[in-house]
Structure 1
Amino acid sequence: MGQEQAVKSSDTAARAGQSRPDELVPSRYAVRVGDIDVLVISDGVLEPPAESMATNADPATRDAWLDTMFLPHDTFDWALNAVVVRSGSQTILIDSGIGGEVPDFPRAGQFGHRLAAAGVDLETVTDVVLTHMHFDHVGGLLVDGVKERLRPDLRIHVSAAEATFWEAPDFSRTGMPPALAEVARSAATRFLKEYRHQLQTFETEQEVAPGVVVARTGGHTPGHSVVRITSGKDRLMFGGDAIFPVSFDHPEWHNGFEHDPEEATRVRLRLMRELTETGAWLVSTHMPFPSVGRVAASGDLFRWVPAWWDY
């Protein structure tokens, strides 16, 4: 990768707004992938029930892992990241955060004002890529007033399998709490109603812009996708919900939000092997912000190697 640079929280050069004065931590981080700009933006932090992290794990084993990470046993902090990519004349938003879909997660839903504080105007976004249609990925597009600010010719890229699945979703194999399953169903239904005519669906993969390719993996949801960004010798993958913090120690643990847990495990292992072989950077939705790092082999498992922040 080319030069990495943190965008300091005190940056006053934002063109379209400022960070809230009570925010004491950085919420955006800029990297260069060859000639392509990538900006990771934190939507905040979710607090799901801890058992949803590993529904097939022995509770004592899960609690022991949480202890090693200095995390409580009941709920845990789960980062929520989205990405802005600038390639050529295109500005691409990858996922959109949770919006206001779950009031019980008051620390999330920050994406709108943080996007503005980073100097990214919604009116300039030419494309949206959705890794999948869970509420914490489409919710930002459902916030009041957002659609009216988006370009009428906006292209929203999502796999055909994902759009089809949410016409009649099946939650029978997830470990989602019933209330969150209903939120997921409602958010996807609203999203399809609001944006159906702007969808650009694909079967296997689609080039969104020069060097930016979205490819379906399945697993987490039937149409879950990752985005591979390539420019010159530099590579970065946005992994969506394929890889979580616990995946490095326990890739076999099933996440409660996975609609096909066994396939999600196969996808996770395949992507992690790819990342170790290519040396590509990884950014993932729920890795701790700024979620920029590499994956290294560690015996039969994997090791997360976070990027050194560049100020």
Structure 2
Amino acid sequence: METLQIGEIKLTWLNGGVTYMDGGAMFGVVPKPLWSKKYPVNDMNQIELRTDPILIEANGLKLLIDSGVGNSRFSEKQIRNYGVKEESRVAEDLAKLGLKPSDIDYVLMTHLHFDHVCGLTKRIGEECAPVFENASIITSDIEWEEMQNPNIRSRNTYWRENWEAIAHLIQPFSTAMQITKGIKMIHTGGHSAGHSVVVIESGDEMLIHMADTMPTHAHNNVLWVLAYDDYPMDSVYQKQKWMKEGLEKGAWYSFYHDAYYRAVKWDKTGKEILAEVKRERP
């Protein structure tokens, strides 16, 4: 498991499973000859996308950013369509660290699309139950509202079985929420109406988790946004804002979906990588 220290705050990447999604959809209007130079693609035009939660240890608390794809949560058709090649091993990774799912205090849900939220619940017979039974689950109020009342487009990713069992654990916020000293969630919109980013600051270090506004290191160009984005111009605006602020401060950027990098630190131009945490690939 890869780790990164941000001041007094420790980050550890857990194995949340993997999907293989269409590369064109993940890079929107960007031509394949451009994006394929930065991110490998297979002969089915699919790219490998991790769904790996980040364990944060801060101020005596244990937090997760997002939850992975879970276990036994997909039909055969969904496994095929979403290219699910590996399910979650979050519980196993926590055990290696001497932790249990019940030890998690907070789960910071950047948004509630299936590939981020399925790991919050587990099947017990025909029913679903919380995985992180003692955790407060934080997400924006806009995201939580759409999760429960999806529109004709979003109902394909906001599933009833992913929210009913954990509704009593949800703590929604409006604009921003200070979770604990040094860790803040901020609503951005863009990828979804309720999408949020996570900002971590400790000592002289800063890390920005852009979630699906910048799902991989190859999305660092502010104009490279996903075809999955509901509000692409909002994504562009938020990337401009957070790249400007982060690059000026020498911030780290971390990733949930990247199969190659866990986090990177770019130079002030946002083009050259100055420091990196690479994923250990089997």
**TM-score computed with the length of structure 2 as normaliser:** 0.84
Distance in 2 (CA, whole Å) between partners of 1:119 and 1:290 is 25
Counterpart position of 2:145:
164
Distance in 1 (CA, whole Å) between partners of 2:131 and 2:36 is 42
| Contact 2:65–2:107 (Cα < 8 Å) also in 1 | yes
Distance in 2 (CA, whole Å) between partners of 1:308 and 1:197 is 36
Query: How many residues are treated as equivalent by the alignment?
Result: 267
Counterpart position of 1:3:
none
Mark the CA change 1:32 to 1:297 in structure 2 (over 3 Å): closer, same or farther.
closer
Q: Find the residue that maps to 2:56 and give its secondary structure.
A: strand
* Structure 2 residue ranges without an equivalent (≥5): none
| Contact 2:121–2:130 (Cα < 8 Å) also in 1 | no
* Structure 1 residue ranges without an equivalent (≥5): 1-27, 173-180
Q: Find the residue that maps to 2:51 and give its secondary structure.
A: strand
Counterpart position of 1:22:
none
Mark the CA change 1:33 to 1:297 in structure 2 (over 3 Å): closer, same or farther.
closer
Counterpart position of 2:79:
103
Distance in 1 (CA, whole Å) between partners of 2:183 and 2:226 is 28
Counterpart position of 1:32:
5
Q: Find the residue that maps to 2:207 and give its secondary structure.
A: strand
Show CA shifts across 1:79-111 (max 9, x none).
322111111221111100111344331234333
Mark the CA change 1:163 to 1:182 in structure 2 (over 3 Å): closer, same or farther.
closer
Counterpart position of 2:46:
75
Choose the corresponding residue for 1:62, options 32, 42, 55.
32
Q: Find the residue that maps to 1:139 and give its secondary structure.
A: helix
Q: Find the residue that maps to 2:25 and give its secondary structure.
A: helix
- RMSD, matched Cα: 2.6
Within the alignment, does 1:126 sit opposite 2:108 as a pair?
Answer: no
Counterpart position of 2:114:
135
Choose the corresponding residue for 2:123, options 144, 148, 157.
144
Choose the corresponding residue for 1:282, options 250, 253, 266.
253
Q: Which shows bigger deviation, 190-199 or 65-74? A: 65-74
Distance in 2 (CA, whole Å) between partners of 1:169 and 1:39 is 33
Counterpart position of 1:51:
24
The Cα shift of 1:210 comes to 1.7
Mark the CA change 1:170 to 1:302 in structure 2 (over 3 Å): closer, same or farther.
farther
1:239 is matched by which residue type in structure 2? M
| Contact 2:217–2:261 (Cα < 8 Å) also in 1 | no
Counterpart position of 1:21:
none
Distance in 2 (CA, whole Å) between partners of 1:241 and 1:63 is 22
Give 1:1-311 correspondences, 5 Å limit: 28-57=1-30, 61-67=31-37, 69-72=39-42, 74-99=45-70, 100-101=73-74, 102-104=78-80, 105-144=84-123, 147=129, 150-152=132-134, 154-170=135-151, 172=153, 183-186=156-159, 189-243=160-214, 244-248=216-220, 250-298=221-269, 302-307=271-276
| Contact 1:159–1:204 (Cα < 8 Å) also in 2 | yes
| Contact 1:216–1:224 (Cα < 8 Å) also in 2 | yes
Distance in 2 (CA, whole Å) between partners of 1:63 and 1:36 is 39
Q: Find the residue that maps to 1:194 and give its secondary structure.
A: helix
Mark the CA change 1:232 to 1:69 in structure 2 (over 3 Å): closer, same or farther.
closer
Show CA shifts across 1:172-203 (max 9, x none).
5xxxxxxxx655132xx223211122111111
Once superposed, which parts of structure 1, at least 4 consecutive aligned residues long, lie more than 6 Å away? none
% same residue: 21
